[in-house]
Amino acid sequence: MILTQLTSPGPLHLPITLADHSILYLDTLVRVLKGRRLVCKGRWNGQAVYAKLFMGKDAARYARRDADGAQAMGQAGIRTPDLLWHGTFDHQSDQVFGLLYAEVPHAMDAEAAYLQSDDASRCHLLCELVEVLARQHAANLCQTDLHLKNFLLADGLVWAIDGDGIRQQSISLKQSHMQLSELIAKLHVLDQMKMTEMLLQTYLKVRGWTETLPATQVLASAREMKTREVERFVTRKLLRNCSDVSWHRDSQSAQSVTTAGGLHITDLPALEVAMHCGQVLKAGNTCTVVHTQLQDRAVVIKRYNIKHCWHALSRAWRPSRAMSSWQNAHRLRYYGMLTPQPLLMYERRFYGLRGRAYFVSAYSPWPDANTFFQQCRDQDMRQRVIEQLVTLCYQWFLLKISHGDMKTSNLQVTDQGEIVVIDLDSMQQHRRTQMALRAHAKDIRRLLQNWQADTSLYNALVKSFSLVYQDHTPLKLAGISI
């Protein structure tokens, strides 16, 4: 087995003889940057370890930087896994630079812990993370790649990992605030609203500072960072080969496939055959929607039709609506919101000019919101769904997102009372506040129109809107009397 040819995480059975003739047994590939870096679990001298293996022309520099960062954190008294061994070894005629770190027992990365925790545990975890960040800054250690996966949680203790991202430098007041904002940007938008003030005070206390910046400014910076991060992901990363998607383009087509979705690169005949064999959910002039099987998986295919030659000409130069659906589905999931998993996007091309386009997503079996409210007699569940609907809208308001078509058929309800959003080709994330405000008010008006005839449900929604929204401006624009 050649290390440079490993491409995806999974089980390994690979013994490696190190320079001191000890044996490193690798049993799991955890992370891979093909041809450059591997992170593996294994055993060395009877001890569980994580091995970082660096290859390629810059391997020595990256390995040295990782080791230096880990040692700097240890010297500053910041809890970090012990570096047990570092050196080089030869593998299949390649020189590999290796670092062996002691495994932290019963640890999970802070992102997983954050997502699995209740509100109280999440609050405690985030305060602990901010304390570690503040201590790093006090020791003149700056994180250049700050995210939750660079911390571990084990037995209630936070460990800092990834020495490669640590730089030893003096950190200005502005840099301190930006780093705190960068950490807060990784949180759910509602947690950002609730916890920024507390996290800022935690940071200031560790640094021994009085208030240096309003929490509103830290929050605004965090939101801006998150928006830029998501925009880079959906406009750049989704349109090239990366760990999340496979991208293929030729003179006749362009397509993007989600790596973890179970599908692979397809062709136009396969898509058309799948549509022909499926159950038609919608047959319109502009689009056709079919529930079918594709590559042995239950999917929904939405084909965006070309109605006539002038329509073809107008669509040829612009990104397709399938591309908009593809990007917006990934956008919502990046923000932690529910939408069927996007699996594949296919555009017909004629030397760069776009034609018919297809968006393929996982099949979602849940009833739409109108069907749910007609059938559900459990008052607690009804109230939960009302709150979920309004909370979803509030998140969109904070993120300047508008859906564009808030019919009940585009809102599904799971058996847990959660909201699944579909039909995303009109969704936008606005840059300008006033445009976002007007579009959001329009979304609210359209949502409430669905239940104007049901006075009880309509009033329950209005009441929930008035309780959840701290800023009533969009509600007033939507015509809701507060």
Which residue segments constitute the domains of the chain, with CATH numbers given?
Answer: 3-102 (3.30.200.20), 108-229 (1.10.510.10), 237-362 (3.30.200), 369-477 (1.10.510.10)
Q: Among 181-190, 259-268, 298-307, which range has the highest average pLDDT?
A: 181-190
Number of Cβ atoms within 10 Å of the Cβ of 442 = 17
Q: What span, in angstroms and rounded, lies between the C-alpha atoms of 321 and 314?
A: 12
Q: Greater confidence, 40 or 307?
A: 40
Say yes or no to pLDDT of 405 above 90.
yes
- Per-residue pLDDT of 45-73, as tens digits, reads 999 999 999 988 899 999 999 999 999 99
The predicted structure's pLDDT at residue 243: 75
Which DSSP string corresponds to 405-460? ---GGGEEE-TTS-EEE---TT-EE-SSHHHHHHHHHHHHHHHHHTTTT-HHHHHH
What's residue 106's pLDDT? 93
For the stretch 63-112, pLDDT in tens is 999 999 999 999 999 999 999 999 988 876 678 899 999 999 999 999 99
Q: Residue 100: its pLDDT value, please?
A: 97
316 has pLDDT over 90: no
Q: Residue 244 pLDDT > 90, yes or no?
A: no
Q: Which two tokens stand for residue 34?
A: 């093909």
Indicate whether 139 pLDDT > 80. yes
> Could you say which DSSP state residue 81 is in?
-
CA distances from 2 to 15, 49, 85, 145, 304 (A): 12, 21, 22, 29, 44
- Which carries the bigger pLDDT value, residue 339 or residue 19? 339
Q: What is the tens place of the pLDDT at every residue in 452-465?
A: 999 999 999 999 99
Give pLDDT, residue 211. Answer: 76
Residue 305 pLDDT > 80: yes
First to last CA, the chain: 67
- Count the neighbouring beta carbons within 10 Å of the beta carbon of residue 307: 10
Token code pair at residue 54:
């660096």
If pLDDT is split at 50, 70 and 90, which confidence band does 432 have? very high
Per-residue pLDDT of 17-38, as tens digits, reads: 888 889 999 999 998 887 788 9
- List pLDDT tens digits, range 370-393: 999 999 999 999 999 999 999 999
161-198 pLDDT per residue, tens: 999 999 999 999 999 999 999 999 999 999 999 999 99
- 308 pLDDT exceeds 70? no
Instruction: State the pLDDT confidence band at 246, using cuts at 50, 70 and 90.
Output: confident
